[in-house]
Chains A and B, each alone.
Chain A
Amino acid sequence: MAAIETLVKDLGPKKFSLRGKIWTVLLVAVIVAGIIAYIDQLIQGQQVTNMRDYALWGIYISNFVFFVATSFVGSVTVAILRLTKNSWRTPFVRIAEIIAVASIIMAGITIMIDMARPDRLLNLFVHARLQSPITWDVIIIPTYIVISLLLLYFPLLPDLAILKNHFKKTKPKLSKIYGRLSLNWSGSTIQKKLQSRAIHIICILIIPVGLLLQTVDAWLFSTTYRVGWDSTNFAPYFISGAFVAGVGSLVAVIYVVRKVKRLEHYITEYHFDKMGKFLALACFIYIYFNINEYLIPAFTSKKAESIHLETLFSGDYAFPFWLVTIVGLIIPALILLFKAGRKPKTMFVLSLLVVLGSWWKRYIIVTPTLLHPFLPIQGVPESWRTYFPSLHEWLITGATLAMALLIITFLVRHLPVIPIQRTADEQKDDKLKTAEV
Chain B
Amino acid sequence: MKNNSHKSRRIFLNKGVKATLLTALGSLGLVKVASKINANSSEGSGDMVELMTTDGTLIQIDSTEVQAMPSAHTDEVAYNVREGMPNRKFVMVVDLAKCKNALKCQQSCNKHHYITGENAWLKVYEMQETKDTAPYWLPSMCMHCDKPACVTVCPVDATFKRRDGLVLIDNDRCIGCRFCMAACPYSTRVFNWSEPKQEFTLNMDMINHHPSPEHGGMPSQIGTVDKCDFCPHQIVKNELPHCVTACPNGVFYFGDKYEDTVTNGEETLRFSQLLKDKSGYRMMEGLGTEPNVYYLPPTDRLVEFEEGLEFYNEFQSVESPEE
A binds B: yes
Which chain A residues have a beta carbon within 8 Å of chain B's beta carbons?
44-47, 49, 51-54, 56-57, 114-117, 120-121, 123-124, 126-129, 131-135, 138, 220, 223-226, 370, 373-382, 384
Chain A residues closer than 8 Å to B119, beta-carbon distance: 52-53, 379-380, 384
List of A residues within 8 angstroms of B127 by Cβ: 376
Which listed residue (A127, A224, A378) contacts B123, Cβ 8 A? A378
Q: CA A370 – CA B287 in complex, angstroms?
A: 18
B194 touches A45 (CB 8 A): yes
A115 touches B176 (CB 8 A): yes
Find out whether the CB atom of A129 lies under 8 angstroms from the CB atom of B175. Answer: no
CA distance A46 to B287 in the complex (A): 31
A115 contacts B175, CB within 8 Å? yes
**Shortest distance between the CB of A390 and any CB in chain B (Å):** 12
A115–B177 CB distance below 8 A: yes
Report chain B residues within 8 Å CB of A132.
Answer: 152-155, 179
A-B contact pairs, 22 of them (CB 8 A): A46-B191, A52-B191, A53-B190, A53-B191, A56-B181, A115-B177, A116-B176, A117-B176, A120-B174, A126-B156, A127-B157, A132-B152, A132-B155, A134-B177, A374-B187, A375-B186, A378-B125, A378-B126, A379-B124, A379-B125, A379-B314, A381-B316
- Please tell me if the beta carbons of A123 and B193 are within 8 angstroms of each other in the complex: no
* CB atoms of B155 and A47 under 8 A apart: no
Q: Given the complex, which residues of A lie within 8 Å of B194, measured CB to CB?
A: 44-47
Interface 0/1 of B120-155, CB less than 8 Å to A? 100111110000000000001000000001001111
Q: Hey, which chain A residues are within 8 Å of B186, CB to CB?
A: 374-375
B202–chain A nearest beta-carbon distance, Å: 18
Give Cα distance in the complex from A126 to B223, angstroms.
19
Give the distance to chain B from A425, nearest Cβ to Cβ, in Å.
47
Q: What is the CB-to-nearest-CB distance from A216 to chain B, in angstroms, rounded to a whole number? A: 12
B173 within 8 A of partner (CB): yes
Q: Tell me whether B306 is interfacial, beta carbon within 8 Å.
A: no
Instruction: Say yes or no: A120 contacts B175, CB within 8 Å.
Output: yes
Q: How far is the CA of A114 from the CA of B223 in the complex (A)?
A: 11
Kindly report which residue of chain A lies nearest to residue B140, judged by CB atoms: A375
Residues of B184-225 whose CB lies within 8 A of A: 185-187, 189-195, 222-224
* Among A121, A132, A376: residue with most chain B CB under 10 A: A132
CA of A380 to CA of B223, assembled, Å: 19
Which 8 A-B residue pairs are closest in the complex by CB-CB distance?
A: A116-B176, A116-B223, A379-B317, A134-B155, A47-B194, A132-B155, A117-B176, A47-B193
Residue of B nearest to A221 (CB): B182
B178 at the interface (CB under 8 A from A): yes
B259 CB–A CB distance under 8 Å = no
Cα(A56)–Cα(B190), bound, Å: 10
B274 interfacial contact with A, CB 8 Å = no
CB < 8 Å neighbour of B287 from A52, A123, A223, A225: A225
How long is the Cα–Cα vector from A226 to B178 in the complex, in angstroms? Answer: 14
A134 touches B153 (CB 8 A): yes
Asked if B118 is an interface residue, CB under 8 A from chain A, the answer is yes
Min Cβ gap A51→B in Å is 7
Cβ contacts under 8 Å, A220 to chain B: 179
Contact A380 B176, beta carbon cutoff 8 Å: no
Tell me if B313 counts as interface (CB < 8 A to partner A): yes
CB distance from A253 to the nearest CB of B (A): 31
B183 at the interface (CB under 8 A from A): yes
Contact B187 A124 (CB under 8 A): no
**Closest residue of chain B to A385, judged by CB?**
B315
**Contact in complex: A45, B222 (CB < 8 Å):** yes
Whether B224 pairs with A117 at a CB distance below 8 angstroms is yes
Residues of B within 8 A of A225 (CB): 149, 183, 185, 287
**Alpha-carbon distance A123/B177, docked complex (angstroms):** 12
Residues of B within 8 A of A46 (CB): 176, 191, 193-194, 223
Residues of B with C-beta under 8 A to A52: 119, 191, 193
B284 at the interface (CB under 8 A from A): yes
Of listed A47, A225, A370, residue having the most chain B CB within 10 A? A225
Inter-chain contact A57/B178, CB cutoff 8 Å: yes
Assess the A128–B191 pair: CB atoms within 8 A.
no
Contact with A along B68-82 (1 / 0, CB 8 A): 000000000000000
Contacts of B195 in A (CB 8 A): 44-45
Nearest CB of chain A from residue B136's CB, rounded to whole Å = 13
When chains A and B are docked, how far (Å) is the Cα of A384 from the Cα of B149?
Answer: 23
Given contacts A129-B155, A132-B152, contact A57 B175 (CB under 8 A): no
Tell whether, in the assembled complex, residue B181 and residue A117 are in contact, meaning their CB atoms are under 8 Å apart: no
Chain B residues with CB under 8 Å of A126's CB are 156
B314 touches A378 (CB 8 A): yes
Given A124-B155, A379-B125, A380-B315, 16 further pairs, Cβ under 8 A: A46-B176, A116-B222, A124-B156, A129-B155, A135-B155, A223-B152, A224-B149, A224-B153, A225-B183, A373-B185, A378-B123, A378-B317, A379-B313, A380-B119, A382-B314, A382-B315
